[in-house]
Amino acid sequence: MAEWENVGKNVYARRYEHLDQTLGLVVGRERCLVIDTGGDEVQGEEFAAAIRQVTSVPWIVAITHAHFDHFFGTAPFLPCPVWAQEGCRDAMASGADAQRARWAAKFADDGEHELADRLHNAKLVLPSDVVTRKTELDLGGRSVTLVHPGPGHTGHDLIVHVPDAEVVFAGDLVEEGAPPAIGEDSHPVEWPRAVDKILALEPSEVVPGHGTPMDQEVVREQRDELHHFSALYRGVKAGRMSVEKALWHSPYPPDMVRPVLERVSRT
């Protein structure tokens, strides 16, 4: 199931029950910007059809980062420009097949065989256009800015700033309803600074990659938790703190952050 949420004038978030995922749409007079496309072509087709109920203008796609649930739904939107941070293209090219195999196996193990098949059959579409630090796109009557805030959830996160609506689409730099996912390609030390750059834009609404839109106060709270975890991570990396002690003080569940702490403790 999916539903639209209006987060600004002609700015929308589309919420999906699966993975509590949130995709985005910004509509201008001449073009619209699609923010992430979902995890497979069936979801991408549904999202594209839902957008056509909102607007008929041509679309541009922006991918926030190279995790499968954000880009494997792109094929139904073609032909169109597909934007991402420059490191995202390389990460997709080198890692998409491994993600596909891992998540399809997980879906199959969970009895979600349709989801596994959909992921197996999804075409990989690499970005056609890349952002280094910042790029402004003209949608006709409004501009949006694609910004790389530095390393965080990945090394190639991209946020979308809609200045006239005071909205930021943050990808998975923040999440609502669950802790941010700190994975093997995350950068815990730099991540709080990336969230600071979101807050510096003074948005009224921050749309996460998963969950409902958030206000600045909630984003600040998440930034502070990331600062706390960053200090623990640095302590383990420097040998000043054991993994177990860091887990005891962590703001996040032990099973979520143990792998990243154990990995850094061995470096």
Whole-angstrom Cα distance, residue 179 to residue 186? 14
CB 260 within 8 Å of CB 186: yes
- CB burial of residue 109 (10 Å; 0-12, 13-18, 19+): exposed
Whole-angstrom Cα distance, residue 259 to residue 246? 12
Question: Can you list the alpha helix ranges (DSSP code H) found in 16-132?
Answer: 41-52, 86-109, 113-121
Closest CA to 135 of 114, 154, 166, 159: 159
pLDDT at residue 267, rounded to an integer: 77
Which parts of 139-253 are beta strand (E)? Answer: 143-147, 159-162, 167-171, 205-208
Whole-angstrom Cα distance, residue 149 to residue 155? 10
Whether omega for the bond prior to residue 179 falls within 30 degrees of 0, making it cis, is no
Whole-angstrom Cα distance, residue 99 to residue 263? 20
CB 192 within 8 Å of CB 99: no
pLDDT at residue 33, rounded to an integer: 98
Digit-by-digit pLDDT tens for the chain (267 residues) are 789 999 999 999 999 999 999 999 999 999 999 999 999 999 999 999 999 999 999 999 999 999 999 999 999 999 999 999 999 999 999 999 999 999 999 999 999 999 999 999 999 999 999 999 999 999 999 999 999 999 999 999 999 999 999 999 999 999 998 899 999 999 999 999 999 999 999 999 999 999 999 999 999 999 999 999 999 999 999 999 999 999 999 999 999 999 999 999 987
Distances (CA, A) of 171 to 22, 84, 110, 141, 152: 9, 12, 26, 25, 11
Instruction: Please state whether beta strands 11-16 and 2-8 pair in parallel, antiparallel, or not at all (unpaired).
Output: antiparallel
Which structural domains are found in the chain, ordered by start?
2-265 (3.60.15.10)
pLDDT at residue 1, rounded to an integer: 75
Beta-carbon count within 10 A of 64 CB: 28
Give me the residue label for tokens 């059809």: 49
Beta-carbon count within 10 A of 238 CB: 9
pTM of the complete model beyond 0.85 = yes
Instruction: Please state whether beta strands 143-147 and 21-27 pair in parallel, antiparallel, or not at all (unpaired).
Output: unpaired
CB 66 within 8 Å of CB 93: no
Give me the residue label for tokens 């094929």: 75
pLDDT at residue 63, rounded to an integer: 98
**Percentages helix, strand, coil for the chain, rounded to the nearest 5?**
40, 20, 35
